[in-house]
Amino acid sequence: MFIDINTYVGHWPFRKLSFNTLKELDILAREYDITHMVVANLNGLFYKDANEANYELLEELKSYNGKTEFIPLAIVNPTYPAWERNARKMIELGFCGFELAPIYHGYSLAPEMFFDMYNPIHRAGKVMELAEELGVPVRVCAGFENFRGRSDLDTPKSLSADDYVALISKYENVPVLATGFSMLAAGGKLSELVKARKNIFFDTTTTATLDPKLCARVKDNIPEEQICFGSLSPFNYMETNLLRISLSGLDEESIKANGARAFKNL
Amino acid sequence: MNIKEKLKFLHDNPVVAWHEHFWSTGDFTTLNTVQGDDMMQVFDALGIDKVVTSLPVNKIKRCDPEVFVSANNVTYEAVKRYPGRVYGMAYAHPGYASAAVAEIERCVKELGFVGVKLYYDYFMDDPVYAPIIEKCIELDIPILQHSMHFMDAPNKIRQPLATDGVHMANAAKRYPEATFVMGHFTIAEWKYSLNAIADCPNVYTDMSGSVYDRPQMEMAVEMLGADRILFGTDNSPSSCVGKILGARISDEDKKTILSGRAFSRFLERTVK
């Protein structure tokens, strides 16, 4: 099994993407014998009702007849009414987990103070609770485009190590795919948590691993069995991440398969 | 297909990386041989045959002539440490016009350097660069300019004079006989800069840099042609080799980019 835990279909409002359909992702995957891709629909970051994007992906999956097996994630916006009902429905319809987009949907991964400072509300935590109940993982991408080239209409924010710590520290039974986050920045408290838990996974998208010293730092922060292959397709060239796992001295075969451990029955 | 099989394309063809840096130990006086040896090991694994390096001085304060002279001597240490594989480019601060011109002449004529590397000291179309550009025309060497069109506030503040494609095009139109390279087109708002230089035949670009957005390579070949694109990594080898391997462009175009065919004469001429 070779699983890419970081792929998307859909559109990006700030530049034209290519290879942004299931059919086209399948072409990329087959070129390198990738058997599975974890996928969500980018449109859900921008629609007021994110669930519309989940139905779009569902429709695309119905007509897809390629070789690569797609593992769909439902984009969930916990600030939107009926998110829980919609999220449950998506799992019933065959989605395999949830994706959170806190920066685009305007909430924090940590508990937030609203009107009552003694009772913070943890909106992301509510989704984690549901994921725990349903036994599915949650993916949270730290950022999509490199910050230097983002449109003025895009957000300058990316998720930090503290954001991930706030999300994962309480919900120890929920597998988390922390994609697009530099493993070099995953030290300190985040590294401690990741080592204590075996169900937190990172991907190669933003971490250069050909430099032996950087690679050693990655291994200090993240156990190898929690490093996964991720390409952030269709934003990026997949070959960069293939090189990173092939020439880094990390256990390539393990990295190709590790992502499967986040999902039941894979 | 296995990525290692695909990587054979680089091992089977000549590859010149035109935008690299062998750093000093921090003070611009001594080559960091550990970093250099690590880099060469990575270049070997990736099939990169020759590299062109420079040591721009990224000091917040002004860079006096003795500093850029020292930095260029560090680059020369790298050239000597990896003979036949590493070539130097001279960095000079344009604010010291006569000292900068003299230093460029020393680097080319005495040290065998193959070009000039400029940083974000001024926009490329600022008249302050005139003496340097005119010297480069006289010596027939390319001018590699650190370039990017930043969209983010921190970098706009940190590098307020960072050149982008519009500045490159302005300079190129003023000096059609000069050879310019817009460094790392792939970083920041890359399509903006590609559009800006598309109609300037004397502006080349290199594909170095850590950003590997699809389909920036296809777009660059479509807008400029492969013969105006140079390979390079700017010390981000996996990003850049991945970009060239993944690009949906012809093998012939890949060979043109990897070999830096248009720039071969600069390397052939000045080896010391």
Q: Is the Cβ pair B213, A211 closer than 8 Å?
A: no
Average pLDDT over residues A194-216: 88
Over residues B243-267, the mean pLDDT reads: 97
Closest to B213 (Cα-Cα) out of A12, A40, A152: A12
Contact B188 A149 (CB under 8 A): yes
| Mean of per-residue pLDDT scores for chain B | 95
User: Strand A227-228 to strand A200-203: parallel, antiparallel, or no bridges (unpaired)?
Assistant: parallel
Closest C-alpha to A9, from A49, A62, A57: A57
Per-residue model confidence (pLDDT) at position B108? 97
DSSP notation for A99-129: EE-HHHHT--SS-B--S-TTS-B-HHHHHHH
Question: Does residue B237 belong to the interface with chain A, where contact is any CB pair within 8 Å?
Answer: yes
Q: Who's near A85: CB < 8 A, 6+ residues apart? A: none
pLDDT at A209 over 90: no
Dump pLDDT digits (tens) for B4-54: 999 999 999 999 999 999 999 978 999 999 999 999 999 999 999 999 999
**How does pLDDT run across B128-180, given as a tens digit for each residue?**
999 999 999 999 999 999 999 999 989 999 899 999 999 999 999 999 999 99
Q: Structurally, how many domains does chain A consist of?
A: 1
Which B positions 26-85 lie with beta carbon below 8 A of chain A?
A: 38, 41-42, 45-46
Using DSSP's 3-state secondary structure scheme, residue A131 falls into helix
For residue B215, say if its preceding peptide bond is cis, omega within 30 degrees of 0. Answer: yes
Contact B165, B143 (CB under 8 A): no
Chains A & B: contacts with CB separation below 8 Å: 105
User: Cα–Cα distance between A29 and A4 in angstroms, integer?
Assistant: 9
**How distant is the Cα of A65 from the closest Cα of chain B, in angstroms?**
21
Burial of A105 (C-beta count, 10 Å sphere; 0-12/13-18/19+) = buried
Q: Domains, chain B, ranges and CATH?
A: 3-270 (3.20.20.140)
* Contacts of residue B115, Cβ cutoff 8 Å, sequence gap at least 6: B52, B89, B90, B136, B141, B142, B143, B144, B181, B266
pLDDT score for B59:
63
Task: Supply the range of the domain harboring residue A129.
Answer: 3-262
For the stretch A233-254, pLDDT in tens is 999 999 999 999 998 888 999 9
Buried/exposed A91-102: b ≥16 CB within 10 Å, e otherwise: beeebbbbbbbb
Question: Considering only CB atoms, which chain A residues are within 8 Å of B239?
Answer: 208, 240
| Per-residue exposure over B246-261, b if at least 16 CB sit within 10 Å of its own CB, e if not | bbebeeebbbbbbbbe
The CATH number given to whatever domain includes residue A206 is: 3.20.20.140
Cα torsion A179, A182, A183, A185 to 10°: value is: -130
Give me the residue from A150, A233, A236 closest to B152, CB to CB: A150
Question: Taking CB atoms and an 8 Å limit, are A148 and B239 in contact across chains?
Answer: no
